[in-house]
A and B are shown apart, each in its own frame.
Chain A
Amino acid sequence: MKDHRGRPRVVVTGMGLVTALGRDLPSTWAGLMEGRSGIRPITRFNTTGMRSRIGGCVDFPGDVPGRPLTVAQRLIALGELALDEALAMAGLPKPFPGPLSLGLPPTELEWPARADIMLRAQGTTNRDLAIASTGMPEVHRVQQVVEPVRHFAARYGTRGFPQAVTTACASGASAIQMAVEAIRRGETDCVLSGGCEASMTPETMIRFSLLQALSARNDPPETASRPFSLTRDGFIMGDGAAGLVLESMEHATARGATILGEILGVGERADTFHRTRSSPDGLAISGAVENALRDAGLDADAIGYINAHGTSTPENDKMEAMAMHLVFGEICPPISSTKSMLGHTLSAAGAIEAVICLLALRHQMLPPTINQTDTDMALGVDVVPNMARPHGFSAALSNSFGFGGQNVCVVLGRG
């Protein structure tokens, strides 16, 4: 019931997934095992003239072309699916007997909603629009950044103030980390955790394109996300969500819950080098891995699989491979990027990939990195090319690195 430092062991008793490969955990896992890509042309808004026109889209009936769901609406729709699935699996009643901690992106007033305000405004200046919005309480309500977690807190009856955690592309992992810490502190027996991402809007895609972060390889879409390949040229945005019910092992055992896996350790290291680039020595990344291993009480050779951050940008994949060699030596464990199939789900990625690691551990199967026709052999890693394969292992590492130098690693076990 206690870990190597005498802290409560933290286990996973419920998991949910929504990705471009499926609306639930079984369908996403099946897609990953088939090595199938979920990347397709974006249809919910006009992509004419945009550098990147494809994504790991999860569309809903409310998505009218030109008037898609807002980011907040899609976060809620995705999150409900993933959290409902996780809670049903955990067999916990509502109200949920613990707090909520989710990785989420910020939201803002999007252009279709701004156009609605314009229709009520006397003119087109910001002042005109702000005056018009004083009579639109529904705009204010949905524009609060807290809106998605307020919705989930009400839906699931979670305790306390719901945490909307953001560390950019490490948010999902940071949310799991905060949840684990709360359980280890003895503050709660369980936490409803995970991550949601729905930033695939025209303006956000334009912003990422201006940073040269997105792939321009639009045709065919399935081949665009190619982490660790010689021709990788940027990431593909993806929608998605993951839900995890985390409990102290004692609490889970006492209520007779099925233990699906364990969070063995979490570790992070801030990179003070640059906003978007890793320190060239790789030490901030390797330091995060080492901190996670130390937290888990494991040596590097205990890790049997690494789910890479693996965004398919030239910079990330090179730095990540280099940093893994720093930790694991010349021969690294198999390391695959499921972003090759799902796209980069940004704030949700850390949570989605933690769930994928837990599924890989349960099934003793490694998901592949697809589109490996020209793997960058200089990186010197086994990327599990193109085909899933059986593998005997008992611990996995999930890497997440965010803009702003936020590196977070999670070590997962079979429980």
Chain B
Amino acid sequence: MKRVCITGVGLISSLGVGRQAHLPLGPARRDEDNFAPFPIHPLPALGMESVIPRREYRQMENFQRLGTYAAGLAIADADAAALVAGMDLVVAAGGGERDWGLDEAIQAELLAIPAQGREAWLHQKLADGLRPTLFLAQLPNLLAGSISIVHHVAGSSRTLMGEEGAGAEALRVAAARIAAGTSEMVLVGGGVIAERWDVMLAFGAALHHGPWCPTAERDGLVMGSQAGFMVLESEDHARARQARILAVLRDVRVDAGAEEGRAACFAALAPASGGLSVAPMRAMMVPGAEMLADAIGSGFEASFPVGVALAALRVEAGAPPIAVHGFGHGYGEFSALVEPCP
């Protein structure tokens, strides 16, 4: 098996962009008003419209823009812009953003429409109100598609759905392909937007509501906008092209315990104490673990790639090996080890 190296990181969160914004983690930026009663960690102004070509920018939704931006940062960080034609892509993404302004306008009238004609009325409202290009902006795999179009990444391309666990599974598959020698270079990660009423509307029961409080004190998750992409390659490949190696990625483990067996499943994967946790809430917490969600909130599919990307930056800056671990707010348990390259 080949050693799997992280040679590029693109990291964006409520704290900002890249190394400067995340080493060390600054005080959390929170918004407790605009989506009250749900506190969130919002994106700062990023100027994404200036880094993504205008024609493409207009055809994308925010999660695609954010992920595409972070993917570009990772490619640049790995100094791999010349290698994108053969670069493989594994993305974790959920359903895209609805036009929740249109939804709200329809909701204002819906129940007042006589039941007899309500369906036809609704369908007409949607046909009249939906932007034709919105559908493409909503498809999860169009984050990967946008990355291919904007950054010309043209190797294999797969997108996995399924909240937090999908982000970990994407990383596991990417690392396994490098380790087995079936891919030379993989771009892997995800991007999620927190400023979305449509997610809050569907996931309300899983969200923390009321004043913000630390992860260790809450049973619901606090959403945070974030994206994490990494370039993975084998040590041989990285050395041959004289790339800088940030860290080695080992033992990416992902499992999915049934509801009553989740704690045991997680305990079998993660260290008994310490490490960097991307857990969204206090259930199954590891004693002594640093809770990343306290600083940047939780980002569903993006959470684990963001945690591993941050660990890679810390290791490059001289930190000892870091165990990154966590679990999905509803499903999935995962961990990985990020180490300095010997």
B-side residues, CB < 8 A to A, are 35-38, 59, 89, 93-96, 98, 100, 103-104, 107-108, 110-111, 119-120, 122-124, 126-127, 130-136, 138-142, 144-146, 148-149, 152-163, 165-166, 168-169, 172-173, 176-177, 180, 182, 197-198, 200-207, 209, 254-256, 258, 328, 330-332, 334
Size bracket of the A interface: 35 or more
**A106-B139, A126-B197, A145-B161 as given contacts; A115 in contact with B110, CB under 8 Å:** yes
Q: Assess whether B205 is in contact with A405, with CB atoms less than 8 Å apart.
A: no
Q: Which of B158, B182, B201 contacts A184 (CB 8 A)?
A: B182
> Binary interface profile of A, 45-75, with partner B (CB < 8 Å = 1, else 0)?
1101110000000000000001000000000
Residues 80-132 of A at the B interface (beta carbon under 8 Å): 104, 106-109, 111, 114-115, 117-119, 124-127, 129-132
Q: Assess whether B158 is in contact with A178, with CB atoms less than 8 Å apart.
A: yes
A162-B256, A182-B176 given. 4 additional CB < 8 A pairs? Answer: A161-B172, A161-B254, A178-B173, A275-B136
| Nearest CB of A to B114, in Å | 13
Could you list 11 examples of A-B contacts with CB < 8 Å? A48-B120, A106-B138, A107-B95, A124-B108, A125-B107, A165-B161, A210-B132, A211-B132, A270-B144, A402-B141, A406-B144
A403 within 8 A of B: yes
Which B residues are CB-close (under 8 A) to A106? 94-96, 138-140, 161
A163 within 8 A of B: yes
| Nearest CB of A to B300, in Å | 9
Q: Assess whether B205 is in contact with A144, with CB atoms less than 8 Å apart.
A: no
Q: Assess whether A202 is in contact with B122, with CB atoms less than 8 Å apart.
A: yes
Q: Assess whether B119 is in contact with A109, with CB atoms less than 8 Å apart.
A: no
| Nearest CB of B to A103, in Å | 10
Q: Assess whether B165 is in contact with A146, with CB atoms less than 8 Å apart.
A: yes
* In the bound complex, CA of A144 to CA of B207 (Å): 13
What 9 A-B pairs have minimum CB-CB distances, sorted nearest first?
A404-B145, A133-B204, A146-B162, A126-B197, A207-B135, A143-B202, A106-B95, A46-B119, A210-B132
The total number of A-B Cβ pairs within 8 Å is: 253
Q: Which of B107, B157, B332 contacts A270 (CB 8 A)?
A: B157
> Binary interface profile of A, 34-54, with partner B (CB < 8 Å = 1, else 0)?
000000000001101110000
> Binary interface profile of A, 165-203, with partner B (CB < 8 Å = 1, else 0)?
111100100100110011011110000000000000011
Which B residues are CB-close (under 8 A) to A168? 139, 141-142
A231 within 8 A of B: no
| Nearest CB of A to B268, in Å | 13
Q: Assess whether A115 is in contact with B111, with CB atoms less than 8 Å apart.
A: yes
A209 within 8 A of B: yes
**A146-B161, A146-B165, A163-B169 as given contacts; A108 in contact with B200, CB under 8 Å:** no
Q: Assess whether A140 is in contact with B141, with CB atoms less than 8 Å apart.
A: no
A-side residues, CB < 8 A to B, are 45-46, 48-50, 66, 104, 106-109, 111, 114-115, 117-119, 124-127, 129-137, 139-141, 143-146, 149-150, 153-154, 160-168, 171, 174, 177-178, 181-182, 184-187, 202-203, 206-211, 268-276, 402-406
CB closest residue in chain B, given A117: B201
Q: Which of B127, B201, B202, B332 contacts A210 (CB 8 A)?
A: B127
Q: Assess whether A146 is in contact with B331, with CB atoms less than 8 Å apart.
A: yes
Which A residues are CB-close (under 8 A) to B110? 115, 118, 124
Q: Assess whether B130 is in contact with A207, with CB atoms less than 8 Å apart.
A: yes
| Nearest CB of A to B262, in Å | 12
Q: Assess whether B163 is in contact with A145, with CB atoms less than 8 Å apart.
A: yes
CB closest residue in chain A, given B153: A270
Which A residues are CB-close (under 8 A) to B36? 127
Q: Assess whether A270 is in contact with B202, with CB atoms less than 8 Å apart.
A: no
Q: Which of A139, A163, A211, A404 contacts B202 (CB 8 A)?
A: A139
CB closest residue in chain B, given A268: B156
Q: Assess whether B160 is in contact with A49, with CB atoms less than 8 Å apart.
A: no
**A124-B104, A178-B173 as given contacts; A403 in contact with B139, CB under 8 Å:** yes
* In the bound complex, CA of A96 to CA of B122 (Å): 43
